[in-house]
Amino acid sequence: MASNAMGATGGTAPQSVEHITRIAQNYEYNSSVPLRYWLRTAATLLREAQIYEREGHDEQAYLILFRHAQLILVHLSKHPDTKKNAEDRKALVAAEKEVEKNLSKLEILRPRINKRYERYTQLMRERESRKQPSRANIVAEPREQVLDPALSGVAEPLEAGANRDLAVQLARSELNRRATVRGSNGLSGPSAEELESRRAAGVWGDWDHSLKSDPNSNDRDLGRRVENIRSDFDHTNQFYGQQAKESEVPSSVTSAYNYPTVPRQKPLEPTASPGQIAILDKNAERHPPPILPPKEHLEPSRASIVGDSATPVAPSRPAKISPAPVPPAKIKPEENTRSGLDPSSYTFKPSAYLENGTPLRSVFLPANLRSRFLSLAAPNTRANLETCGILCGTLVSNALFISKLVIPEQTSTSDTCETVNESALFDYCDSEDLMTLGWIHTHPSQTCFMSSRDLHTHCGYQVMLPESIAIVCAPSKTPDWGVFRLTDPPGLTTVLNCSQTGLFHPHAEENIYTGALRPGHVFEASGLEFETVDLRPGALQN
């Protein structure tokens, strides 16, 4: 919770490692989700951690790496699929090796984070001892500060809705830079780390040894490796050691932990605000950048469909983060063209909250994506067949940008749409370093709503990325489209625990889903570029 004092001084307080690790373990896990999907979620976490490291935010990098390790060691090592599938066992061993590599990063980040936190608390004590503050200037204790590590040390977080033009410029600049880097790396072929990461995601690899080996031997080897690394991980962080003994993790979703924050380019005065203190500390701790994780893989995408018009309801909001008193100066287009924009100089603050109080990062949606999708779906729509597409993109400055509309190979009826040949979809996303941010589908003759089948489909997206969205297009009805997410609670847990089948089965809970656009965490952005990739056989690429 951001106090009034924080609003007055600007910025947010640094967070302790103990607080960050507590947040990192607060996510929804369900063993009924196939292991291969969870492994892709773990790979996506590493992809996000790579961006956080590159943008210079220690707190978020630590949180994501810790969550990745906790997910692998505490949950996935016990997943029932490890006893059923040799490929899953092999992929889990590869993912566990990633944890082993990341322990050194956690050891490097932990003292830096605590040093900033301890310095901040000391300065606050000294300030309070020098004078008796008036009620208007009281600085809250660190435990009362904003709970989102994404905003730790950020003096002027950006409002997504008020800075769409800047968001478009940032996305264009950063996506072009990343494409150039990928192109350069591609000239010499994939690195050894990239090859290993592809195996870790289970997309392909040499599974011959695993398939030919004694399954019981594999289980014993995996068990030994997990226990050895878990022991190292316990040594890395004593707080984790206490939590790892718990058999259950709090059942709230992962959204609060996936928010990178970034330092300002210009140093600020050390006594002005907690955020400025943290920024100065970061500038004083310049060091060679840590080795970045290899390119990883995305969670799978499976689309089934149908639809009814639910009135978008804004999620109940907890105490808000106080807005910065002075809005940051906007960058003129010509400045962007001349020198480029540095994503590490900006942070978009969360624009909405789950019902459990955790913040959601802003998602920027190209304004003309829907019309493009409807034109591709038109032949199916005329034949009363559904069409689905996958919304892919990336993370820039603590916001998610949809940059690709991927049309997978699929089979359709008037009420459903199922993806076919998922491996081709995964391979494409992996090759382009894409995150799966949601899906879009048509209701050729139904109204704009989320059917029970749609809810189960979207649950698979949202359990892996809380900001995931479902766009429903009903061109023959009014309203003709909507952007939705599951509530949490009760929607996500209700659907996860539902074992019913059928297209239109009821759920006991009400308020299963809600709108994500106006109000919500999704913003349409004119001028945001995107590419359409049609993977259906015989489709012409655009």
Every domain of the chain and the residues it spans: 12-126+149-153, 348-534
Rounded to whole angstroms, the maximal C-alpha distance in the chain is 76
- Please tell me whether residue 390 adopts helix, strand or coil conformation: strand
Q: Cβ distance 306 to 51 under 8 Å?
A: no
What token pair was written down for 385?
């067949």
Confidence of residue 383 (pLDDT cuts 50, 70, 90): very high
How much is the pLDDT for 146? 44
The pLDDT mean for the chain works out to 75
Region 180-209 average pLDDT: 48
DSSP state of 450: B
* DSSP-derived secondary structure letter, 253: -
Residues 6+ apart with CB under 8 A from 145: 1, 2, 3, 6, 12, 13, 15, 274
Q: What percent of the chain has pLDDT over 90?
A: 46
Q: Which band of pLDDT confidence, cut at 50, 70 and 90, is reported for residue 421? A: confident
Task: Output 125-132 pairs: Cβ under 8 A, ≥24 positions apart.
Answer: 127/271
CB 61 within 8 A of CB 210: no
The stretch 512-523 carries a mean pLDDT of 96
Q: Give the residue with greater pLDDT, 240 vs 35.
A: 35
pLDDT band at 397 (very low <50, low <70, confident <90, very high): very high
Q: How confident is the model at residue 166 (pLDDT cuts 50, 70, 90)?
A: very high
pLDDT of res. 195: 39
% of the chain with per-residue pLDDT over 70: 65
Total-model pTM: 0.72
Nearest to 197 by CA among 52, 355, 50, 79: 50
For residues 508 and 298, the model is more confident at 508
Check residue 454 and give its pLDDT: 95
Q: Which CATH class is domain 12-126+149-153?
A: mainly alpha
Per-residue pLDDT, averaged over 394-409, amounts to 96
pLDDT at 227: 66
Running DSSP on this structure, what letter comes out for residue 325?
S
The more confident residue out of 473 and 463 is 473
Region for 424 from its dihedrals, namely left if φ exceeds 0, alpha if ψ lies in -120 to 50, beta otherwise = alpha
- Does the pLDDT of residue 481 top 80, yes or no? yes
Phi, psi of 532 (to 5 degrees): -100, 130
Instruction: With beta carbons less than 8 A apart as the criterion, state whether 101 and 69 touch.
Output: no
Which DSSP category does 194 fall into?
A: H
What is the predicted pLDDT for the residue at 160?
96
Is residue 196 within 8 Å of residue 418, measured between CB atoms? no
- pLDDT for position 11: 57
Domain 348-534 is found in CATH 1.10.3080.10: no
How buried is 526 (Cβ within 10 angstroms: 0-12 exposed, 13-18 middle, 19+ buried)?
exposed
pLDDT of 484-498, one tens digit each?
999 999 999 999 999
Q: Across the strands, what pairs with 534? A: 407
pLDDT tens digits, one per residue of 243-280: 434 433 333 333 332 323 333 233 323 334 455 545 54
Worst-scoring range by mean pLDDT, 225-229, 260-264, 470-474?
260-264
Query: What integer pLDDT is reported at residue 235 of this predicted model?
Result: 63
pLDDT at position 422: 83
Q: Can you say how many angstroms the Cα of residue 61 is from the centroid of all Cα atoms in its chain?
A: 12
Fold agreement between 12-126+149-153 and 348-534: no
* pLDDT exceeds 70 at position 20: yes
Helix (H, G, I), strand (E, B) or coil at 467: coil
How many Cβ atoms are within 10 Å of 324's Cβ, its own excluded? 21
Local confidence band at 450 (pLDDT 50, 70, 90 cut-offs)? very high
> Is residue 198 helix, strand or coil?
helix
pLDDT in the model for residue 125: 87
Q: At how many degrees (to 10) do helices 58-70 and 86-130 cross?
A: 140
Q: Which of 317, 346, 395, 347 is closest to 2 using CA atoms?
A: 317
